[in-house]
Amino acid sequence: MNIVSHVCGVDEAGRGPLAGPVIAAAVILNSARPIEGLADSKALSAARRAALVTIIRERAVAWSVGRAEVEEIDHLNILRATMLAMRRAVLALPSTPCEILVDGNRLPELPIRARAIIGGDATIPCISAASILAKTTRDAEMLLLHERFPNYRFDVHKGYPTAAHIAALQRFGVSSVHRQTFRPVRALIGQWGAGSSSAGGMIV
């Protein structure tokens, strides 16, 4: 197989939200099976991302997903947790890449040659594919969390600090899937206590 096809793209989704895990994806595209329309996941509609992620999983030489949980984010900080999720994604690949291209300006600790590329999710196809895989994986998980915690409307904002999310936090308190070290959440913990609602009940 052409060695170019063993370049791996890595990207993450979920650094900014107040709730839920951070998800990273690693993708090795197959140069013999190109995918049209790859782009930064944020520039694509949900329907387009859903269509592309199916193709990515079918055509890629290899792909994998890594994650860092809310507890790890609070313990490590979001940057280190993101690097951990990226490392986990790469190490979970069933095929070893010859080089890793990571979106952004920082690199996780890896046993393989790697480069950080600012804006790579919009310009490098394998990073774009990783961006789409990470985003769709995390969005699907936030829909499941919405079923557990419907008051917060994770199905709408996916945990990002929208006005509606902040209002829900102020009304219902902090849940077990909120990142307690993030400023808006931390402020409410001081008011009501971690894992408690404004009514005093545990939100787990």
Write the pLDDT tens digit of every residue in 78-97: 999 999 999 999 999 999 99
* Residues, the chain: 204
- Domain ranges, residue 93: 3-146
97 part of a folded domain: yes
pLDDT digits (tens, 9 = 90+) for 51-70: 999 999 999 999 999 999 99
Q: What is the pTM of this model?
A: 0.90
Q: Are residues 30 and 122 in the same domain?
A: yes
User: Comparing 148-152, 163-167, 182-186, 194-198, which segment has the lowest mean pLDDT?
Assistant: 194-198
What pLDDT score does 1 carry? 36
21 part of a folded domain: yes
198 part of a folded domain: no
204 part of a folded domain: no
What pLDDT score does 203 carry? 61
What pLDDT score does 157 carry? 97
Give the count of domains, the chain.
2
39 part of a folded domain: yes
Distance of CA 95 to the CA centre of its chain: 22
What pLDDT score does 80 carry? 98
Q: Are residues 32 and 100 in the same domain?
A: yes
169 part of a folded domain: yes
- 40: Cβ–Cβ under 8 A, 6 or more apart, which residues? 121, 122, 128, 131
Residue 189: band (very low, low, confident or very high) from pLDDT cuts 50, 70, 90? confident
Q: Are residues 39 and 26 in the same domain?
A: yes
Q: Are residues 76 and 177 in the same domain?
A: no
Q: What is the mean pLDDT of residues 119-147?
A: 98
Say yes or no to pLDDT of 181 above 80. Answer: yes
Distance between CA atoms of residues 148 and 142, nearest Å: 10
101 part of a folded domain: yes
Can you give the CATH number for the domain in which 100 is found? Answer: 3.30.420.10
Q: Are residues 49 and 130 in the same domain?
A: yes
Beta strands in 32-178 (DSSP E): 62-68, 99-103, 114-117
Phi, psi at 193, each rounded to 5°:
100, 145
Distance between CA atoms of residues 34 and 93, nearest Å: 20
201 part of a folded domain: no
Q: Are residues 103 and 173 in the same domain?
A: no
Distance between CA atoms of residues 97 and 119, nearest Å: 21
Residue 35: band (very low, low, confident or very high) from pLDDT cuts 50, 70, 90? very high
Q: Are residues 10 and 92 in the same domain?
A: yes
